Structure 1
């Protein structure tokens, strides 16, 4: 422990060469924090530390021995390799932070590395919704104005981009972007019935896509070959009313016939009572 304090004191008093590195990874993966030093630098001692959000000792190299026994948030998830590179994993989002490697060579020269680790969530498949700008009654049958919305839930640092399939370029007059690329305004014509749009949601370490054909939402009956909801109502409602009326007539007729049979039976009983057999 005194040797460790001595190294830290040397860091504060002696000239230091510092390099800084940005490291990106994602949740669930492992990351290797490489130890780099100049040619001819013969490492005598080394200390790996976590600087932020809290300062903790992670691993040491002293007298040829590798140690990773310090209690920290990485306990059980840290390994110091023979080349003094530090492996962390599986990673969590809260593992993002700054790490420092302090190395001293046999001549007392100090070399320090600062590594900035950023851990991102894996981007899931985005959700794409289509909103028509007008109702079917007011929209011309050969045109369609829609808004395409792309969204990923509970993930930060996401960027969105759109690609129109089956075409080499995008007509700027037909497309406009809002809300950092999440919303896309599209004007479609008859020639765009089979055109699909793909939304890509991404962060620096992962991405995923979702594709939609917006014309199907403009004129679903034309795209699917099925009758519209109103057409179905025009057929179903009259048939349903007819069946209900037929049922009521059947019940009324059955009740009428039952009443006549009952009256006939009553008359027969009365007749037999008035004319007993001798």
Structure 2
């Protein structure tokens, strides 16, 4: 009969059949079920769930017909072991991402290990869209208008941005008009686009949210409403471009002087050798 510590020692010392890692996705505040799967005919007698990364912790055990989850870990009070030996974690927190494993022993003494990778994402908040218009000297309302739409989801990472022009039956916007990984959209509007709305879609693998604006409304009310011009959007785009350029120049300068010093050193060596040989003659 296996003991609890025998199970742990078995996982370390004995050869074990292992299933490749399974990816499990969830979001903060939800509960997730880590399913324990074993081959047909494998009658589980004992099982042990552990967290492998970022810290190694004992989470739950099934031993001699008894389920136990009261182990001191970061999931204490948030873990439940079901009768089918699947492990439920929740409510989830941002730091709960990690690797987990379940070791099972059947009635014949054979072992089976399964590894799962849990990734916990934040819930995407409603994005904020700002409209930046190109300055114009025309006194009359403009017949065309160049705008930049900037989309941003606050206090969250791992976000993907995309845009949709609502009047075109949900067709996505052309990629060539996107900047800053999709966060900034450049649009040229005409008189026929007065009622056209653009929707920013902020998403991650488990959640998404949207914000919609009608940019033409900002074109002829810029001066009166204090809307930002295209010059303001440059304050966002230009620093990123300048940083990338400076990083490239610094890399080139760092390698340039090193090779230059090596060449000058070889030249000095060439001049010194003849001078040391003359007295011998």
TM bin (shorter chain)? 0.7 to 0.9
Unaligned runs of 5+ in 1: 222-227, 231-278
Change (3 A) 1:171 1:197: closer
CA contact (8 A) 1:32 1:87 kept: yes
Instruction: Quickly say closer, same or farther: Cα 1:139–1:201, change in 2 above 3 A.
Output: farther
CA distance in 2, matches of 1:170, 1:136: 32
Aligned partner of residue 167 in structure 2, secondary structure: coil
Q: Name the CA shift for 1:139/1:51 in 2 (closer, same or farther; >3 Å).
A: farther
SS state at 2:55 partner: coil
Equivalent position of 2:16 in the other structure: 16
Q: Give, in whole Å, the separation in 1 of the partners of 2:64 and 2:183.
A: 56
Q: Deviations over 1:210-251 (max 9, x none)?
A: 000000000139xxxxxx749xxxxxxxxxxxxxxxxxxxxx
Equivalent residue for 1:80?
A: 81
Structure 2: gaps (5+ residues) = 226-281
Partner of 1:262: none
- 1:5 is displaced (CA, Å) by 2.1
1:170-198 deviations in Å (ceiling 9; x for gaps): 6749x611111000000000110100000
Provide closer, same or farther for how the CA distance between residues 185 and 72 of structure 1 changes in structure 2, counting only shifts above 3 A: same
SS state of the match for residue 166, structure 1? helix
**Distance (Å, rounded) in 2 between the aligned partners of 1:183 and 1:229:** 24
Closer, same or farther: CA 139–48 of 1 in aligned 2, 3 Å = farther
Is residue 2:5 matched to residue 1:5? yes
TM-score for the superposition, normalised by structure 2: 0.75
Quote how far apart the aligned CAs of 1:69 are: 1.2
- Does the CA contact (< 8 Å) of 1:14 and 1:110 recur in 2? no
Asked if 1:206 corresponds to 2:202, the answer is no
1:14: how far off? 2.8
Offset of residue 9 of structure 1: 1.9
For residue 162 of structure 1, report the CA deviation from its aligned partner: 0.1
Shift in Å, 1:136 = 5.0
Q: Secondary structure at the match of 2:24?
A: strand
Q: How far 1:41 moved relative to its partner?
A: 0.3
Aligned length: 222
**Root mean square deviation, CA, Å:** 2.1
Cα pair 1:143 1:187 within 8 Å, conserved: yes
Q: 1:219 to 1:84 in 2, by over 3 A?
A: same
The whole-number CA distance in structure 1 between the counterparts of 2:29 and 2:37 is 25
Counterparts of 1:126-141 in structure 2, within 5 Å, are 126-135=127-136, 137=138, 141=142
Q: Which residue of 2 aligns with 1:215?
A: 216
1:91-130 maps to which residues of 2 (within 5 A)?
Answer: 91-130=92-131
- Please report how far the alpha carbon of residue 73 of structure 1 lies from its aligned counterpart in structure 2 after TM superposition: 0.7
**SS state at 2:177 partner:** strand
CA distance in 2, matches of 1:58, 1:170: 45
2: distance between equivalents of 1:178 and 1:139?
A: 30
